[in-house]
Amino acid sequence: MKIKIDQENCIGCGSCVAMANQTFKMNDAGKSEVVNQAGNSDEEILLAAKSCPVRVIQVSDDQDKQL
Ligand code: SF4
């Protein structure tokens, strides 16, 4: 899986970090960033992406299909 964050539009709510804390971390600017593309299980990462209130986390599979 590939994870991308549109950081410009991240509002820094911390939800993704709370749900998959080995994958997402808050940076010094208060935005989430991916620190390990496979830090959590696929299920946890997908749930974290779905939890984003502004839907700025995109997850795609190895064929670039959006999940
Ligand atoms: S859930 Fe979305 S808005 Fe909240 S910190 Fe993560 S990327 Fe940013």
For 6-63, how does the pLDDT look when each residue is reduced to its tens digit (9 = 90+)? Answer: 999 999 999 999 999 999 999 999 999 999 999 999 999 999 999 999 999 999 998 9
- Asked if 45 and 5 count as a contact pair (C-beta separation under 8 A), the reply is no
- What is the domain extent for residue 23? 2-60
Kindly state whether residue 65 falls inside one of the protein's structural domains: no
How many domains, the chain?
Answer: 1
**How many H-runs (helices) and E-runs (strands) does the chain carry?**
2, 4
52 lines ligand 1 (CB under 6 A): yes
Kindly state whether residue 33 falls inside one of the protein's structural domains: yes
Kindly state whether residue 66 falls inside one of the protein's structural domains: no
Kindly state whether residue 14 falls inside one of the protein's structural domains: yes
Kindly state whether residue 67 falls inside one of the protein's structural domains: no
Q: Looking at residue 25, what is its pLDDT? A: 98
Atom of ligand 1 nearest to the CA of 51: 1
CATH of the domain at 20: 3.30.70.20
Whose C-alpha lies nearest to ligand 1, atom 8?
10
Q: Looking at residue 19, what is its pLDDT? A: 98
Q: Looking at residue 33, what is its pLDDT? A: 98
Q: Looking at residue 51, what is its pLDDT? A: 98
